[in-house]
Structure 1
Amino acid sequence: MFAQLSAITFIVAPVFGLIGLGFLASVSGHLRERAAEGLSEYVFGLAVPVLIFKTLAGARLPEEGQPWGYWIAYFTGAFIVFALGMLAARRLFHRDYTETVIHGFTSAQANTVFVGVPLILQAYGPEGAVPLFLLIAVHLPIMMVVATVLTEGVHGGLSAAGLKKLLRLLAFNPILIGIYAGGIAKLTGFELSGIFKQIADMLSASAVPCALVSLGLALHRYPIRGDFAPAVLITALKLIVHPAIVYVLTRLLPMPPVWADVAVVFAAMPSGINAYLLAQRYRVGVAASAGAVSLSTAVSLFTVTIWLMILGVG
């Protein structure tokens, strides 16, 4: 057990160490808020999309086709905790309908780009990249569409303007563009070479450390202040209940072992910043979502370690 814990420490510690370094740089004033914004834009808009494109273009896909048990396991868990988050917000904290959706979305929306990509690639390497990026490809659109439709529903349904804005947001999302471009390159047999490959390699190499430092810088903006009880409950749903449901389902449904593990670790990721942005957009549940993003990120250092031990990593 000690050997396994030691191996997992070498996986987890560098990831959260860089997040902590970014946080300390922001708290101390060594790096200002504009650095956080610029680095985040670089990671989200260029470095990670190139990493995804490069990985998927050269990936080996399962010969037997898509393991549908993988999708069923993950999204069943996601929508159960989404519903539980909404129910708790209504019954325990007596929030209105729009805020219950924000709580549910924060409980189910995983931080895939800034924590999921670095951690899963660190733990599973290239073998885990394909299930990771394929899940990212559908995770963001599905969760955003569901959350937006549920939120807009209180106002009489999703308007044409709202739907158009959502579709535009998804169509021009850099992460999704990287995924689709990588899939097309894989299907057509396109390969980067020469100077273009060198540029892609350099950008890809910068994606993981920059993403982690960027998240650390950003966490300074999301203090755990006010609405502490909902933030704690959302954190528990995200870090414990969600991966527990996915773990059980991945043991019951057919899928390759690495895909099963990636689904569980993906579910064990902390709450994503998109939840806070949605709360800001509707001006409800902002304190709870901001607190949950920071609290779940901090606590995930320990819970992710436990999940990796359960999965036998190391």
Structure 2
Amino acid sequence: MTGWTADDIPDLGGRRAIVTGANSGIGYHTALQLARHGAAVVLACRSAERGAQALGRLRAAVPGAAVELASLDLADLESVRAFAAAHDGPLDLLVNNAGVMALPHRTTADGFEMQFGTNHLGHFALTGLLLPALRATAAPRVVTVTSGFARVGRLRFDDLQSERRYRKWVAYADSKLANLVFAKELARRYSDVLSVAAHPGYASTNLQQAGPQMAGNAVTDRLAVLGNTLIGQSAAGGALPTLYAAASPDVVTGACYGPRGVFNLRGAPGRVPMGRTADRADLGRRLWETSERLTGVTFAPA
């Protein structure tokens, strides 16, 4: 791979970061490289067992790393509030990475459709609750991980919870568009917070197989394995756009970063276009107001 790599990450000594979903895949490699370059990193994980395993791997890979594990279930707003309340001190970087993809229909602890509730609403609430800690630092960043599927998503405000009809890939695309719209609206509202989106392209992680496995669909599961093998780049490679967005001095607030290779599926990271829909200020404002109402989390005044 040519272009920007993890070796180009600057010294992050003294910076504090939180990475959601850091127990595996892109989240783990994001946390690993942030720690390797000096940041103090909190691995925010839903599974205590998988989180502890990831923490052990990271400490073995980076002896002396300033890393810790904390419990966070983005599908439960009570857990989100407890996590934020337990955070102490300023925060330089929040990486909204965790997510679910193409699951059979499920609902969160608060009754939201699982993909929209976890991927967007959980991270929206988390960001709002941690915003005072972020704004207590000189140059805070929020990186929200979206997907190329955001390009075909829609925000159906008359049916955000897919109650009329649930189509798992449509719901996923819609949730990833919400991630992108949120990142851009956060940038509009807070000039003192650098808010960007990142997407990994096609990265070989267990995310592609989780949905088919939950549905008991062996054919789709095998296709996911084949796609990971033939098309996908490694999880470490898929983490590079997130790391670029989190650490590069060239990042522009409100932009999206992803692989610059063919069809933006793989390759070195850089700024990528994501369509005009996500840039609509009216859409951002409506999603923001709706998300505040649904989560009960109101962001501090700018």
With the length of structure 1 as denominator, give the TM-score of the two structures. 0.32
Which has a greater percent of helix? 1
RCO comparison, higher one (Cα < 8 Å, 6+)? 1
With the length of structure 2 as denominator, give the TM-score of the two structures. 0.33
Which has a greater percent of strand? 2
